[in-house]
Amino acid sequence: MNIASTAHGKPSTGGWNAAIFIILVEVAQQFAFYGLASNLIMYLTDVLDQPLATAAKNVNTWLGVSSVFPVVGAFLADSYFGRFKTIVFSVTIYFLGMVLLTLSVSVIPSQSRRAMFFVALYILSVAQGGQKPCVQTFAADQFDENTPEEIKVKSSFFNWWYLGLVFGATSATLGVVYLQDNVGWGLGFGILAGVLVLSLVSFLVGTKRYRKQRPPGSPFTTVAQVLVAAARKWHVIETLNCEGVYYGDEKGEAMLQRQSQPLVLARTNQLRCLDKAMIIDEQDASTKTRNPWRLCSLNQVEEVKLVLRLIPIWLSCLMFGVIQAQLHTFFTKQSSTTIRSIGPHFQVPAASLQGLVGIAILIAVPIYDRVFVPVARKHTGHPSGITVLQRIGIGLVLSILLMVVSALVEAKRLNIAKDYNLIDKPKAIIPMRVWWLLPQYLILGLADAFTTVGLQELFYDQMPEQMRSMGAAASMSVVGVGSFTSNWIISAVELITSRNGNKWLGDNINTAHLDYFYWVLAVLSTLNFCVYGVSASAFVYKKVEREDKVKTELTLVKNHDGEI
């Protein structure tokens, strides 16, 4: 990466001076997103009069689309537009969508309100698709991986990045949700739109500070070329000495020479079937020009291996997305039935309890970064204290504990409702303080601090450089696909339990059995963790080699086989 320098020899672009402007955009987006998502279940059930299960599915579907659409946005950014332009366009669309949402709950006639509300919702999903994967990656790009000082700073970047996100989300759940419940939905959504336009202006102010990279082209082309080349050479047998392996062409060497500390991927033993794509056979050796659909470099093959190795980890984290989906749906509905008053004149909105998750993260992340990591580093010798996969695994264990605690608390709430003859009164306030639900919110915050941050770091570090926006989108899609999976589980539970005439997820939360539903999720999460353990134990982290070693091997190949 070329870096402009000041007269004193220090970089004039990049670093925290640039990243802070980008972080402000994400903080504003989180503020807007959670100002909407955290209270959406209450708007759908109380204002639009949707049944509880239907409203929960609508929330999960919207969350799912919003979390999966970034895959499309990441592809467009990496292939055509670049991250900077994609962010500017997406934040602008996000602002316009939020304006439309504000109008749909205030001035638009009631007969058109429902349709316009959902149109605005999914405009926000499209905007998030472009903004979400690019902002995180663009901010991380401001730290040069070839500079030891910036590598050290970058090692804690993801912790503090996520801390900023949580601050924005928590502020919205504590402040904006209160205005929505007690003043008006129009004012609440209007504030979200105002914050978004301010963040866009702030982002544009920092334009000259940013390190920008040109879009490298379609990230799927390399993947397709390796798969096709390996399939075409399925019958080829590799020689015992690696002289028949293609390491790269002159263009690739030139690219390496422009880097201050050039690194290339080391060869790994997993997925050896793909290695055939880089074997030079008789047909390759007899042609003067390389056919990229028949012969790929070692780097290309190893990049595809990186992508494929991440798939089992992604799949085994989907149940965590299912657990997270409960925060915006059933957790909030539970809270709405409890005593939430503080003093004689103030009542905490049910959706504001989600702010406890953010508070737990705001406390946990600095302790993790400043206390746990240095202590663990002394014992393990690992730069991050523990590996990223270990961090994710701890979060998954906490998510199992979360469902167990949630089931026990919900069972107590149902028993109190039964003791006070409130079973048939779904809108009645149960004589139970909302603080009984405090443990499940705090545990979710701790699980989030381990799993979500771990996934973000894993998919950024282990993805090929030209696919890092896709990596960010993939880590976010865990929540989205988890939300869709939650819908499928809800539908299955409804179908099975309705046969006995006693729905576990009925409209009357007091006659329903959320506690049984939580036990189901606990069991599924336990089985999922077993799968994760197997996937994590087989995972091979990215390995790199210095350029001089590769050049030596490349010279041997050329001397033996000639130019390719």
pLDDT tens by residue, 470-487: 787 788 788 878 888 888
- Computed on alpha carbons and rounded to an integer, the radius of gyration of the chain in Å comes to 26
To the question of pTM greater than 0.85 for the whole model, the response is: no
| HEC secondary structure over 465-522 | HHHHHHHHHHHHHHHHHHHHHHHHHHHHHHHHHHCCCCCCCCCCCCCCCHHHHHHHHH
When the pLDDT of each residue in the chain is averaged and rounded to a whole number, the result is 81
- DSSP β-bridge partners for residue 546: 263
77 vs 301: which has the higher pLDDT: 301
Residue 561: per-residue pLDDT: 46
Task: Please say if the pLDDT value at position 251 is more than 50.
Answer: no
What fold is seen in the domain 305-563? Growth Hormone; Chain: A; (1.20.1250)
Residue indicated by tokens 């082309």: 221
H/E stretch holding 264 reads: strand 263-265
Q: Please report the pLDDT score of residue 3 as a whole number.
A: 37
CA angle 311–161–522, rounded 5-degree value? 50
Convert the pLDDT of each residue in 401-431 to its tens digit. 999 999 999 999 999 988 888 888 877 888 9
pLDDT band at residue 340, thresholds of 50, 70 and 90? Answer: confident
Percent of the chain past pLDDT 90, that is, above it, reads 20
Can you give the residue ranges of every domain in the chain? 12-215, 218-247+264-296, 305-563
Tokens representing residue 266 in the block: 């080391």
CATH fold match for the domains 12-215 and 305-563? yes
Q: What is the pLDDT of residue 152?
A: 58
Residue 378 has pLDDT above 80, yes or no: yes
Q: How far apart are CA 25 and CA 123, in angstroms?
A: 18
For the segment 487-499, the average pLDDT, to the nearest whole number, is 86
pLDDT recorded at residue 396: 96
Give mean pLDDT, residues 16-42: 85
β-partners of residue 5 are 11
Grade residue 242 by pLDDT with cuts at 50, 70 and 90.
very low
Position 66 pLDDT exceeds 80: yes
Quick one: which of 439, 369, 350, 436 has its CA closest to 402?
439
Average pLDDT over residues 499-517: 82
Residue 333 vs residues 71, 336, 429, 434, 514: alpha-carbon distances, Å:
31, 5, 12, 12, 11
Contact 466, 70 (CB under 8 A): no
Residue 193 to residues 124, 244, 259, 307: CA-CA distances in angstroms?
11, 59, 42, 37
Q: Determine how many CB atoms are found less than 10 A away from the CB of residue 296.
A: 28
CATH code of 12-215, in short, is 1.20.1250.20
Contact at 8 Å (CB) between 91 and 29?
yes
